[in-house]
Amino acid sequence: MVMKKQILAIEDVYVPVKRRQTLDRQKVETLAESMMEKGQEAPILVRADGQRFVLVEGLHRLEACRALGETSVPAYLVQARKH
């Protein structure tokens, strides 16, 4: 299965509460600095859920984009089971 990269609005990506609890601010800062130099190297992974997208993988990348003032984020849409 080939995944197609899409650009999504950050506000359309829902982060489950359980996933949000694993956020490490230091990691976000480090990633944001790296993104300023090299850009985002790996898209986040999301699954469709009605009108929104649910984050599957890439919390720190998503938050680093948000910290940099981005309004969109590159993402791969995957078929993932609900946790």
- Identify the pLDDT of residue 1: 54
Domains in the chain, CATH or no CATH each = 5-77 (3.90.1530.10)
- Identify the pLDDT of residue 81: 62
- Identify the pLDDT of residue 62: 97
Q: What are the C-alpha distances in Å from 59 to residues 20, 22, 67?
A: 8, 9, 12
- Identify the pLDDT of residue 80: 61
In order along its 83 residues, the chain shows pLDDT tens digits of 567 789 999 999 999 998 889 899 999 999 999 999 998 889 999 999 988 999 999 999 999 999 999 999 999 999 866 55
